[in-house]
Amino acid sequence: MKKNIQKLQETPSSSPLPPPLVQENDLVRPTGIKELDTMLHGGFPSNATILLAGASGCGKTILSMQWLMEGYRLYQEPGMYISLTEPINKMVKTAQQLSFFKQEYLTPGKVFFEDLRTILHNLGLDSKEITVKDIDRIVDALSDLMYQCNAKRIVIDSITAIAYRLHDEHLIRTFIHQLDALLAQTQINLILTSEVTGEGYSIFGVEEFISDGILKLTREKQKEERVNRLYIIKMRGTDFDSHPASYRITTQGIRFYPRLLRDLTYHVSAKRIPTGIKGLDEMTNGGYFEGSSVLVTGSSGSGKSLLSLQFLLQGLKDGKKVMLVSFEESRDQIMRNAKGFNWDLETYEQQGKFKLISAYPEQKYLEEHIDMIRSEIETFGANLMVIDSLSSLGNVFMEDVVRDFVSRLNGYLKEKLVTTIYTHATATLLGANQITDAHLSTITDHIIMLRYVEIQSELRHALLILKMRGSNHDKKLKEIVFTPQGLEISGEFSGLEGVLSGSTHKVSESIEEQLHALFMETLGPMGEKIFHEEKTKGLTYESIKKLIDDLSNQGVVSVRRKEEFLTSAGLVYGKKPVSVYTGEKSEEKSENKKGVGQLFNILKGGETK
């Protein structure tokens, strides 16, 4: 073995290969797999032995091949694959379906494949019991092969199969230590694949102790979904991201989705972004802060999607780029719903101002969704965004995973100054238990709750702003109505208690109800129509006083009735009563208008006094 160590240390005088792009004295050697290098903070330690553990079908063989092929393609580092798990021709045939696999690389000096069973057969060890001396012969044969191939990257697939072939733990330990001693004198990186299920990283518990790094591939169940995860357990002498990362096995190889990292250093803006809802801008003191996050929560049908869509539509009218990510509705359904309110989103889409992404949550891992959103933000450049809805994600993924997703995505969007609305459906129709099941209320800057309320056997809609960080806001529960133009804030639920709990009861008449009764008492049947006309304009004391003055001047209302009306209205609005006439003069004025009064008397069905 010593002779072969010396041979491996020597550099051939004339190498047919171009010089490697990675200097051999570098502390870290890139794997060539971009996302994996991101998690490794550059790559594997140079001259390191990496234990790649995982159950059957997790992608160990594909990842190992990808590492070899990318190493030669990007850095001209020759590789060697030594297999004991399946025949080379079968392995190559399967690998040809993968885009990273290059048939032209299959030659010594590039990427060479060898079957360990062939090596054992040539040594006459294929059917005999292996001894310690045989271990020396096997390692020497491997070193000869490494020298011939000028290998810089080696895969042994799998160390578990070799361990089963050796049977004895002492022989296994001897083989691994001799192999490690051989590679320690070289500039070679080695991956040992290990077949394990459950906890642990190897069958005999020896391999991980001589390994410089350990990667583990797992397949975990999250609710109804199976998720592939990579864990970096250790990486001697270098820093790395210890958070697990999702990955997919694709025809391009293994695609990793590193955890989106964020720093609490984002900038904030004092600029206000209009809500797009009539009356809500006043409640929010001018709109949402630019770059802030809004959680809109409510039961199904309470108006969450509509409120969010109006927010985006207002942004489009203001010349901004907006994006909608829907986990519940298809593109065609969203477009159809928008047309019901005469909103032409398709034109904005054709103009490149509106981006719509529709996907079921289970179609991607959460990290894939983050990666997709991040990619679209970078290329499309959205100013406003809606994520509809988080409850759909919660139906597929664990609550703590969804919360982590929102926290990291929210941090990224804040860095990009993207004003974002997240919608979340609550389980209860009436009453209030908690804002969300995943406890998302501390993550977002603003919280708007939409509710159903039952009043006199009628189901009505309510809106309440629970929180606005850094801003004053209207703290009253307001009624919202659905109009042909979308949602609007209608008025307050004055005189009612228990609206949030779902047990609504009346404690006093509201201003609106008192004024309605006053109009009906003073004007009779016509009072209903006149009241509703005034309500649309806004029921202020000044507007009502002007109306009654006009009606009095026209003879519709006598001066005495006018005084009674204004006194009662003043009390409703908390104003002091003021006399508005003096007997005789008023009677004369009333008499002069008697003709008109008699006309309205007929319409009212009573006598004008």
Residue pointed to by tokens 């809004």: 294
| pLDDT of the residue at 490 | 85
Distance CA 581, CA 585 (A): 8
Return the amino acid letter for 558: S
Contact 436, 466 (CB under 8 A): no
| pLDDT of the residue at 206 | 72
Q: Identify the CA nearest to 149 among candidates 103, 185, 110.
A: 110
User: What angle do the packed helices 583-592 and 594-604 form, to 10 degrees?
Assistant: 70
For residue 10, count other CB atoms closer than 10 A to its CB.
8
Each residue of 361-415: pLDDT tens digit? 988 888 899 999 999 999 999 999 999 989 999 888 888 889 999 999 999 999 9
Distance CA 165, CA 495 (A): 84
| pLDDT of the residue at 436 | 55
Q: What are phi and psi of 599, to 5 degrees?
A: -65, -45
Does position 528 have pLDDT exceeding 80, yes or no?
yes
Distance CA 488, CA 478 (A): 10
Distance CA 373, CA 490 (A): 36
Does position 584 have pLDDT exceeding 50, yes or no?
no
Each residue of 550-565: pLDDT tens digit? 988 988 888 888 998 9
Q: Identify the CA nearest to 448 among candidates 386, 403, 510.
A: 386
Residue pointed to by tokens 């190889």: 253
Distance CA 520, CA 525 (A): 7
Task: With cut-offs at 50, 70 and 90, classify the pLDDT of residue 419.
Answer: very high
Contact 157, 84 (CB under 8 A): yes
Q: Identify the CA nearest to 310 among candidates 480, 441, 466, 537.
A: 480
Q: What is the DSSP letter of 103?
A: G
Contact 423, 388 (CB under 8 A): yes
β-pairing, 486-492 vs 478-483, is antiparallel
| pLDDT of the residue at 179 | 85
Distance CA 254, CA 329 (A): 30
Residue pointed to by tokens 């005084």: 563
The upper half-sphere exposure of residue 68, i.e. CA atoms within 13 Å in the direction of its Cβ, equals 32
Token pair in block for residue 203: 């069958």
Q: What is the DSSP letter of 110?
A: S
Task: With cut-offs at 50, 70 and 90, classify the pLDDT of residue 502.
Answer: low
| pLDDT of the residue at 51 | 94
Strand partners, 325: 357, 387
Q: What is the DSSP letter of 514?
A: H
Q: Identify the CA nearest to 382 among candidates 390, 374, 391.
A: 374
Does position 510 have pLDDT exceeding 80, yes or no?
no
Distance CA 378, CA 398 (A): 28
Token pair in block for residue 283: 């409640």
| pLDDT of the residue at 516 | 86
| pLDDT of the residue at 4 | 52
Return the amino acid letter for 519: F
Average pLDDT, the chain: 84
Question: Which is more confident, 539 or 354?
Answer: 354
Residue pointed to by tokens 């509201």: 510
Task: With cut-offs at 50, 70 and 90, classify the pLDDT of residue 598.
Answer: very low
| pLDDT of the residue at 435 | 55
Distance CA 70, CA 59 (A): 16
| pLDDT of the residue at 246 | 92
Task: With cut-offs at 50, 70 and 90, classify the pLDDT of residue 181.
Answer: confident
Distance CA 390, CA 394 (A): 6
- The answer for residues whose C-beta is within 8 angstroms of residue 226's C-beta and 6 or more apart is 219, 220
Strand partners, 45: 28
Does position 590 have pLDDT exceeding 60, yes or no?
no
Each residue of 297-345: pLDDT tens digit? 998 889 999 999 999 999 999 999 999 999 999 999 999 999 999 999 9
Contact 397, 327 (CB under 8 A): no
Question: What are the CA-CA distances from residue 89 to residues 92, 95, 105, 576 (Å)?
Answer: 5, 10, 15, 99
Contact 302, 427 (CB under 8 A): no
Task: With cut-offs at 50, 70 and 90, classify the pLDDT of residue 609.
Answer: very low
Task: With cut-offs at 50, 70 and 90, classify the pLDDT of residue 603.
Answer: very low
For residue 9, count other CB atoms closer than 10 A to its CB.
11
Task: With cut-offs at 50, 70 and 90, classify the pLDDT of residue 229.
Answer: very high
Q: What is the DSSP letter of 60?
A: H
How many percent of the chain have pLDDT more than 70? 86
H helix intervals, 298-398? 304-317, 331-339, 345-350, 366-380, 390-394
Q: What are phi and psi of 115, to 5 degrees?
A: -95, 125
Does position 601 have pLDDT exceeding 80, yes or no?
no
Each residue of 83-98: pLDDT tens digit? 988 889 998 998 999 9
| pLDDT of the residue at 602 | 37
- Range from 147-161, 251-265, 461-475 carrying the lowest mean pLDDT: 251-265
| pLDDT of the residue at 13 | 35
Task: With cut-offs at 50, 70 and 90, classify the pLDDT of residue 45.
Answer: very high
Contact 161, 84 (CB under 8 A): yes
Q: What are phi and psi of 435, to 5 degrees?
A: -70, -50
H helix intervals, 340-426? 345-350, 366-380, 390-394, 399-415
Q: Identify the CA nearest to 349 among candidates 339, 341, 364, 359.
A: 339
Structural domains of the chain, ranges and CATH numbers in brackets: 29-257 (3.40.50.300), 272-506 (3.40.50.300), 511-604 (no CATH)
Distance CA 285, CA 273 (A): 11
